[in-house]
Structure 1
Amino acid sequence: MKTAFFKFVRDERGATAIEYGIIAGLMAAVLVTIFSSTGSLSVGLGHAFTFIAGKLNALS
C-alpha cells in the first residue's frame, strides 16, 4: 500500500493537461471580463461605432 501511494504521488501523467485546463479557464475568464457588456473595451467600441455612424449620417 505504501509503495502504491508513493508511486501515485510521483506519477506526473496528466499534470500537463490539468495545467493547460487551468490556463484555458483563466484565459476564458479574462476574455469574458474584457468583452462583457459593462467592460471598458465594449463601451469604447460602442462609442467609436456611434461616432462613425454619426459622421457617416452627416455626410448623406
Structure 2
Amino acid sequence: MRVQANSIRGFVDDDHAVTSIEYALIAMLIALVIIVSVKAVGETLSNIFDKVASSF
C-alpha cells in the first residue's frame, strides 16, 4: 500500500508534463499567429499584383 501511495504522490508532484503541455500550447499559438499573418500578407500582395496587372 505504501508503494502505491508513494507512486501516486510522485505522479502528482511531477511538473514535467504540465510544463511540456504549456510549451506546446505556446508553440501552437505562435504557429497560429504566423499562419494568420502569412495569409493576410498573401492576400494583400495578391490584391496589389491584381491592381498592377489591371493597370496595363
State the TM-score, normalized to the length of structure 1: 0.52
Give aligned-pair identity as a percent.
27
| 2-structure distance, mates of 1:48, 1:16 | 44
**Structure 2 gaps, min length 5:** none
Moved runs in structure 1, 4+ residues, more than 6 A?
Answer: none
**Structure 1 gaps, min length 5:** none
1:10-30 CA-partner distances (Å, limit 9, x unpaired) = 111243332211111122223
Larger CA deviation: 5-14 vs 26-35: 26-35
**Relative contact order (C-alpha < 8 Å, sep 6+): which is higher?**
1
Q: How many residues align?
A: 53
State the TM-score, normalized to the length of structure 2: 0.54
Name the counterpart of 2:43: 43
